[in-house]
Amino acid sequence: MSQDVDLPAASTVEPVKVEPAADGLRAEAPLAERRAESIWSELLADIPGLLGAVFLAALVIVALFAPWIAPHDPAAQNIILRLRPPVWMDGGSWAHILGTDHLGRDVLSRILHGSRISLLVGLGTVALAGGFGVLIGLIAGYAGGRTDAFIVAVVDIQIAFPGLLLALMILAVVGPSTMTVIVVLALNGWMVYTRITRSIVLGLRHTAYVEAAEMVGCRPGRVLWRHLLPNLASPLLTLATLEFARIVLAEAALSFLGLGVQPPATSWGLDVAQGKDYMFRAWWLVTFPGIAIALTVLAINLVASWSRVTSDPLEREKRFARRIIGSPGLRARMLAKGPS
């Protein structure tokens, strides 16, 4: 300690306590808990975001337990019971709540099973494209110079190339399957991650704390991993959510074109494609998978919008203040606390 004590905190320094080294880790736990709790309360404050999140949670549960929830095997055909309408129409029955298709397969079961493909392709593509795109973006933004120029050129070329054409080419050569769909969609989607990551890194790499990290001798890998990546988390999360919604649509489109998921596997896009020939005789074949796609994309967008606001501290404070000022009870309670 300095002798002429006029440092503010100096007087409060207690003799150094010998504590177990793990203490630092344990003290962090309550913080993480608090954070989780606060995210939950943030979600409660945003009704559309909450509805979206609840829908997505239900979708995940359905996807995980589809074989047990679904009333029928989605591929089981029954020509006798073909083109049955939903239960509330003449000729409908509780056995097939949302009716049957032209092969007599249960529409509800197909939708429930289709959610698995949507989520699998969505998550797989976002993970693949996001992982690759963010890595490339980090390198481009941090390395700068020729590396950056080269990567930017590749990104621009890839973006200029018609995505659907590329997908058709690859699928035609390799042959359609769920895995191929994921790879093809990732190949068409990584550039947006690269662009966003690169632009944020370009802004962050001249901030003082990144310079400080380099100044103490951190190697580039550590600067990227410890100092840049964590600060990219919230914009990337929002982007990934939005991309997820786009991928769900893209998978449906590919499957609709017959280049995506192949029968006997099920997918919402495939259902719409197969139902389109019967659109005027059996509207439910295209309508229910269509609604499933629309609701899922809407829910994801609601969650993305919530996460965008929540990751912006100023927006978050405003939302909080609006809630307090809007509610006389909350406001009075906060004001009444007064000075301690």
Partner 1 sequence: MTTTLPPAPTTLAAPPASEAEAPLLSVEGLTVDFYTRRGLVHAVRGVSFSLGKGAALGLVGESGCGKSVTSQAIMGLIHLPGEITGGDISWKGRSLLGPAAAAYRRQVCGGEIAIVFQDPMTSLDPLFSIGRQIGEVLVRHKGMEPAKARVRALELLDLVRINAPERRFRQLPHALSGGMRQRALIAMALASEPELLIADEPTTALDVTVQAQILDLLIDLRQRLGLAVLMITHDLGVVARLCQQVAVMYAGTVVERDRADAVLLRPAHPYARGLLRSTPALETRLDRLLTIDGQPPDLRRPPQGCAFLPRCARGTDSCRTRPPLGPKPGGTGGRVACWHPVTEPETVPAAASPAGGSAAVRPDPLVAVEGLTVHFPAGRDGLFGPRRVVQAVDGVSFTVRAGETLGLVGESGSGKTTTGRAILRRAPITRGDVRYRGQSITTLTGEPLRRLRRDMQLIFQDPYASLNPRMTVFDIVAEPLIVHGLAPDRRALRDQVVDLLALVGLPADAVTRHPHAFSGGQRQRIGIARALTLEPAFIVADEPVSALDVSIRAQVVNLMQDLQARLGLTYLFIAHDLAVVRHIADRVAIMYAGQIVELGDRDRVYADPRHPYTETLLAAVPPVDPRAEIRPTRPGEVPSPLAPPPGCRFASRCPLVTEQCRAAPPSLSPRADGHLLACWHR
d(CA 206, CA 141): 11
- Encoded tokens for 75: 């591929």
Residue type, 246: R
Using rule CB under 8 A, residue 318 touches partner 1: yes
Count Cβ atoms within 10 A of the Cβ of residue 132 and give its class: 0-12 exposed, 13-18 middle, 19 or more buried. middle
Q: Which range, of 19-27, 73-81, 140-148, 168-176, touches partner 1 by CB under 8 A? A: 19-27
Using rule CB under 8 A, residue 14 touches partner 1: yes
- Encoded tokens for 25: 């880790």
Written as one string, the DSSP assignment of 254-294 is HHHTTSSS-TTS--HHHHHHHHGGGTTT-THHHHHHHHHHH
Q: Cβ 146 to partner 1, closest distance in Å? A: 15
Q: Which range, of 236-244, 281-289, 296-304, 324-332, touches partner 1 by CB under 8 A? A: 324-332
3 state SS of 93: strand
Written as one string, the DSSP assignment of 183-209 is HHHHHHHHHHHHHHHHHHHHHHTTSHH
- Is-contact 197 138, C-beta < 8 A? yes
If the CB atoms of residues 24 and 162 are measured against partner 1, the closer one turns out to be 24
Distance spanning both ends of the chain, measured CA to CA: 33
Q: Cβ 143 to partner 1, closest distance in Å? A: 16
If the CB atoms of residues 38 and 93 are measured against partner 1, the closer one turns out to be 38
Q: Cβ 37 to partner 1, closest distance in Å? A: 12
Residue type, 332: A
Using rule CB under 8 A, residue 317 touches partner 1: yes
If the CB atoms of residues 93 and 327 are measured against partner 1, the closer one turns out to be 327
- Is-contact 316 309, C-beta < 8 A? yes
Query: From the list 4, 32, 80, 165, which residue makes contact with partner 1 (rule: CB under 8 A)?
Result: 4
Site for partner 1 in 96-155 (CB under 8 A): none
If the CB atoms of residues 162 and 339 are measured against partner 1, the closer one turns out to be 339
Query: From the list 39, 61, 64, 334, which residue makes contact with partner 1 (rule: CB under 8 A)?
Result: 334
- Is-contact 225 99, C-beta < 8 A? no
Q: Which range, of 15-23, 81-89, 143-151, 284-292, touches partner 1 by CB under 8 A? A: 15-23
Site for partner 1 in 32-51 (CB under 8 A): 38
Site for partner 1 in 197-236 (CB under 8 A): 207-209, 211-219, 222, 226-227, 230-231
- Is-contact 266 74, C-beta < 8 A? yes
Q: Which range, of 18-26, 46-54, 64-72, 276-284, touches partner 1 by CB under 8 A? A: 18-26
Note the residues at the interface with partner 1 (CB under 8 A).
1-4, 6-14, 16-17, 20-21, 23-24, 27-28, 38, 207-209, 211-219, 222, 226-227, 230-231, 316-318, 320-322, 324-325, 331, 334-335, 337, 339-340
